[in-house]
Structure 1
Amino acid sequence: MRRRRAVGRAVRWTVAGAIAAVAATLLAAVGPPHADPVRTAAGHRWITDDRGRALVLNGLNTASSAKSRPDGLPWIKEADVQRESDELGSDFVRLLIQWRNVEPRPGEYDDGYLGQIAERVRWYGSRGYHVMLDMHQDVYGPAVKGNGAPAWATEAEGLPVAEQGQWELTYIEPGTVRAFDNFWGNRAASRDLRGHYAAAWAHVARRFSGDPAVLGYDLMNEPFGGSVQGPAFEAGPLAALYRRTIAAIRGADADSWIFVEPEAVSANWGLPSALPYLKDPRGAGDNARIAYAPHLYPLPMDLGGGYTGDAGTWVDRTLGSWRAQTEKTARRLGAPVLIGEYGLDITLPGALRYVAKVRAMAEDMGAGTAYWSNDPGSWAPWDQHLKPTPLLPVLERPAPRAIAGDPVSYAWDEPTRTLSVSWRPKEGVRGDTEVYLPARYFPGGGVVEGGRAGEWDPKSRTLHVTSDAEAPGGATVRIRPAT
């Protein structure tokens, strides 16, 4: 027992030291506040629909509550999805699923669970949403006080996992580190749990292949390498799992998007990622459908701080660094970007300004967003009584949903009540550009300059737009409220 305790202490401090080194590196890496970035240039890769249109995805994560429920299902009913569509106007959801529910016993899959997930996918799909299925984990799995992995796939070898006031610290408990090490194959005696993981994803992909609402699959939430951290983890065990899982999914689903995340400990805070290029069996260039889905939680906020004073200055520096590193990694991957998680307790000082700033940055980058999360409370657009919170109007912004060409830029200017969208023609793209116009700014719909207004759906608040310009230089349309 004493020897086990001593080994556990050594593991804990080894991993804690690695994470502390990451944080120290961050101090030097973020540097001074960055100037406002330039607009997105044409040629930037975009997540596209089946008509080749660039998708501007904005929505919520559904749901944190699913992580702790035995059935692995979110709290929502179909009426909640309708309310979200009506009040928020979102067209995207990152829907959490759990490996423990997909594969409750080795090699045995619970199709009843996947059927219930499919029912919720239908709720979203019938309202025009794009659904990304996220195989979620935090602190590995319930057997080590986390969520995600089934007990049979958790090999902590009897090492302790103590309760922690700051939940993230559970990651560096000896039993948690050992479970991750055995999953990643960091120990020679480990079982091939990664093979089970890839096969579970293939089973999910077979179930949802061809479902028009399912945009794609987020392979793992916030990967953590156990005792192997940093570039050694991302370029080694993590990339190997991604390659294996991508191949397994492509054997079942040739067309859906596959989303990959970097190591969370560093990338969430604006540090570089070492994730290497990942080949898609579909092909390269525009044929590839691999997307990059990092999360954004600046360190002061990860520790419970708001967006004010010195902490706000630190956050601004982190945002600049995060954007630079994210775009660098996306270029290496040849991938479009979607911010898979960001958010803040809106009772903290400056929280609404922070959320608005991240949304504006995402628009500037041409990146989609999934706010954390839809669970009623102080982080959400609605409270425990499902009444709107001050966050809702911050998230509900006029924006394009699908752009029929190669986007150059889009921006919402609130003082002039003008939504501008610019794009260039792109071969093979079909359909109109679609924009979302909230009732609070566009009660009677919109008037289009530089193009023609087509179908207007007052229920979904969606306006179809076509361009007046077919020249290679492209088009810019401006939409203002109809009088």
Structure 2
Amino acid sequence: MAVTRRIFTFSVVVLLGVTAGAAAPAAAPLPTTQGVYGAVFRDDRGREIVLRGFNVAGSAKLTENGLLPFRSRADAATSAQAMRDLTGANAIRFLISWEGVQPARHTIDYGYLDRAIEQIREFTDRGIHVLVDYHQDLYSAHLFDDDSWYDGDGAPKWVIDAGDYPDEFCGICFLWGQNMQNNAAVREAMYDFWRNEYGVQDAFLDQAGATMRYLRQRLPAAAFDRIVGFDPFNEPFDGGLDGGTGAEWERRWLLPFYQRFRARMDEAGWAAKPAYVEPLVFWNTGFFEQGGLSTIAPLGTRYVFNSHYYDGARITLDPTPAGDGTYAAAMNRVRDRARTLATAPFVSEFGNSLHSDRTPWMVRAMYQGMDAGVPGASWWGAPASGGTVLSNTMWHWDIYSGRHAEPGDGWNGEDHSVVAVDAAGTVVPRLDRRVLDRLFPTAVAGSTLAFAYEDLARSGYGGAGQQQAWLAAPQSLPAIRALTAGRQYGVLVWRGTAGTTELHLPASFAPATTTVVTDVTAVTTALEEGSATARRLLLDAGAGVHAALVVNTTGGTVTAAQLAAAQRELATWRTRHFPS
């Protein structure tokens, strides 16, 4: 039998300008099982999509904000534009409140929904996809005394008045989340919700159906097309296991609730959009771990496995800093669980308090784990082990950070916002922008085989701290090692089909000094939709296995000989790890 060898001739492209490029996708990506490592999101052109962005915003928990992320449509516009320009984000998780929608049992506040629609449109009009989230924490603000150390959000007052709950008390609680385990008022009210006492779950589903119908009717078609789905219930917790396990509780109480919500989505005109369902909140925190939807049948692609990740150990007892590969295993748990459930994974919350001097590299390591599920030190030797590139929305983006009238910076003393507004009214990052504005594959024509990115973000705030490469090319690739040493760079490998592959290009990658080593001959840049500054890299490839090494060569000199050697090494490396 004859063997045909395909020889790839790699080209080196130094980008010199911005072209019109291909149009950005309009329709929301949907989960599909057609991925190399499990289910992925694909757009209406069949391209594999990665969603990256932020939650807007924790300020929706506050009455001073009218229980919405922004106090005005103008503030939403300011935030949406800054997010697109500063980070290239293509997705948000937009918080709404049951209390905002249904202030009385038989009342839907359509004015509240109209304000939400106005704010959502400021994002969709800029090409940003939206996941709508029914947010709750500790079930309800109306369970807490006015002088309590803590507060809740979610259920309206009439729901709490229907029950007979004890005075709230958490005891010795160092973190607000301990109320889920220690506060009898919170636990009993949550217990009643899952068991539909007083018809409370029926009422929630009725107002959710009304909300979805109204959003479907009032959002323009182009805006509704950018809604990726609905998160039915933020961070569900049990309120009482009745002697069972967390996995049993999920199967008996949580899954039926999600199935009921899914039915309401279908009735309201959302049948084509998935429900982004969360497991028991403690499934991957490091403490009280149970659940993770681990004992239910595969959900399929009408659902998305929607996980949060916070480092419970480092938030409490573990004093060590994060580093290369710290969160690879944690993110692989998300990948593996989604694969078992036969649907796509999504990480809708992650981050850490900006009061901590360890946060910059914790966030950096979390992004690294979502790019690839192997440490950077071993990625070049085992790139296929990285798995699916995880879509995510970070917690959180709050333009009112440091300026809230209600106690604490937003809620329960949290300080997670990655942005603030300076004296001139400009939205500015509070973390190193290199952590937030990242190279990532927004759309791949075909299937992603491997991806990794070295951001070179510093370990401190305001440009302080050390700088250390985690994705160092090995000595066995001397030319690539020389080209990438001390530089930001990323590598994408994909099995191509007809169409345009796109990567968000960080602002630090100026077009004139971005070097692309690839077998793809058609390489250009274009502006991100909705931005006059943020850019994307476009590669038109076609069938076959392709690789692109994208290097920020600002401030340095690259010789022709160095580039030629890097071409040969990348071609050999690609063939060895990903034969055609």
When normalised by structure 2's length, the TM-score is: 0.67
Letter in 1 for 2:393: A
Letter in 1 for 2:527: D
Note if 1:463 corresponds to 2:536. Answer: yes
Note if 1:273 corresponds to 2:291. Answer: yes
Q: Contact 2:492–2:548 (CA<8 Å) still a contact in 1?
A: yes
CA distance in 2, matches of 1:92, 1:289: 19
Letter in 1 for 2:62: S
CA distance in 2, matches of 1:363, 1:157: 47
- The offset of 1:43, in angstroms, is 4.0
Residue in structure 2 matched with residue 128 of structure 1 by the alignment: 127
Moved more, 170-179 or 214-223: 170-179
- The offset of 1:355, in angstroms, is 0.8
**Change beyond 3 A, Cα 1:382–1:464:** closer
Which of 129, 147, 153 is 2:159 aligned to? 153
Residue in structure 1 matched with residue 189 of structure 2 by the alignment: 179
- 1:159-198 paired onto structure 2 within 5 Å: 159-162=166-169, 166-171=175-180, 172-185=182-195, 190-198=197-205
The ranges of structure 1 where at least 4 consecutive aligned residues each deviate by more than 6 angstroms after the TM superposition are none
Note if 1:419 corresponds to 2:413. Answer: no
Q: Contact 2:499–2:540 (CA<8 Å) still a contact in 1?
A: no
Partner deviation per Cα, 1:132-160 (whole Å, 9 max, x = no partner) = 11100000012113101112223541312
Q: Contact 1:268–1:297 (CA<8 Å) still a contact in 2?
A: yes
Residue in structure 1 matched with residue 10 of structure 2 by the alignment: none
Partner deviation per Cα, 1:210-261 (whole Å, 9 max, x = no partner) = 5022111111110011012611221111111011111111222121232011
CA distance in 2, matches of 1:266, 1:202: 28
- 1:186-225 paired onto structure 2 within 5 Å: 190-209=197-216, 210=221, 211-225=224-238
**Change beyond 3 A, Cα 1:207–1:221:** same
Partner deviation per Cα, 1:79-129 (whole Å, 9 max, x = no partner) = 122112211221111111101112222243222211111111111111111
Residue in structure 2 matched with residue 97 of structure 1 by the alignment: 96
Q: Contact 1:161–1:170 (CA<8 Å) still a contact in 2?
A: no
CA distance in 2, matches of 1:402, 1:299: 33
**Change beyond 3 A, Cα 1:112–1:437:** same
CA distance in 2, matches of 1:454, 1:330: 34
Identity, in percent, stands at: 24
Residue in structure 1 matched with residue 23 of structure 2 by the alignment: none
Residue in structure 1 matched with residue 363 of structure 2 by the alignment: 355
Which of 256, 260, 264 is 1:244 aligned to? 260
Residue in structure 1 matched with residue 247 of structure 2 by the alignment: 231
Which of 379, 389, 395 is 2:436 aligned to? 395
CA distance in 1, matches of 2:187, 2:290: 23
- SS in structure 2 at match of 1:248: helix
Q: Contact 1:104–1:150 (CA<8 Å) still a contact in 2?
A: yes
- 1:202-351 paired onto structure 2 within 5 Å: 202-209=209-216, 210=221, 211-228=224-241, 230-252=246-268, 253-269=270-286, 271=289, 273-275=291-293, 276-277=295-296, 284=300, 288-303=301-316, 308-309=319-320, 319=327, 321-351=329-359
Note if 1:61 corresponds to 2:60. Answer: no
- The offset of 1:277, in angstroms, is 4.6
Q: Contact 1:409–1:423 (CA<8 Å) still a contact in 2?
A: yes
- The offset of 1:175, in angstroms, is 1.4
Note if 1:372 corresponds to 2:381. Answer: no
CA distance in 1, matches of 2:550, 2:168: 56
**Change beyond 3 A, Cα 1:204–1:440:** same
- SS in structure 2 at match of 1:206: helix
**Change beyond 3 A, Cα 1:439–1:97:** same
Residue in structure 2 matched with residue 383 of structure 1 by the alignment: 420
- The offset of 1:342, in angstroms, is 0.9
**Change beyond 3 A, Cα 1:208–1:453:** farther
CA distance in 2, matches of 1:208, 1:407: 34
Q: Contact 2:298–2:342 (CA<8 Å) still a contact in 1?
A: no
**Change beyond 3 A, Cα 1:72–1:191:** same
CA distance in 2, matches of 1:393, 1:320: 20
Q: Contact 2:137–2:234 (CA<8 Å) still a contact in 1?
A: yes
Letter in 2 for 1:235: R
Q: Contact 1:445–1:461 (CA<8 Å) still a contact in 2?
A: no
Rg larger for: 2
- The offset of 1:182, in angstroms, is 0.9
Give the count of matched residue pairs. Answer: 425
CA distance in 2, matches of 1:237, 1:445: 55
**Change beyond 3 A, Cα 1:202–1:140:** same
Which of 432, 446, 449 is 1:408 aligned to? 449
Q: Contact 1:453–1:465 (CA<8 Å) still a contact in 2?
A: yes
When normalised by structure 1's length, the TM-score is: 0.80
CA distance in 1, matches of 2:356, 2:101: 37
CA distance in 1, matches of 2:443, 2:542: 18
- The offset of 1:424, in angstroms, is 2.2
**Change beyond 3 A, Cα 1:450–1:205:** farther
CA distance in 2, matches of 1:89, 1:381: 14
Moved more, 439-448 or 100-109: 439-448
Note if 1:479 corresponds to 2:547. Answer: no
Partner deviation per Cα, 1:12-60 (whole Å, 9 max, x = no partner) = xxxxxxxxxxxxxxxxxxxxxxxxxxxxx82421123333322211111
Residue in structure 1 matched with residue 523 of structure 2 by the alignment: 453
Letter in 2 for 1:456: A
Q: Contact 1:239–1:278 (CA<8 Å) still a contact in 2?
A: no
Q: Contact 1:185–1:191 (CA<8 Å) still a contact in 2?
A: no
**Change beyond 3 A, Cα 1:462–1:208:** farther
CA distance in 2, matches of 1:338, 1:79: 26
Unaligned runs of 5+ in 2: 1-34, 145-151, 373-387, 403-414, 456-485, 555-580
**Change beyond 3 A, Cα 1:51–1:194:** farther
- The offset of 1:362, in angstroms, is 0.3
Residue in structure 1 matched with residue 577 of structure 2 by the alignment: none
CA distance in 1, matches of 2:513, 2:49: 21
Q: Contact 1:436–1:463 (CA<8 Å) still a contact in 2?
A: yes
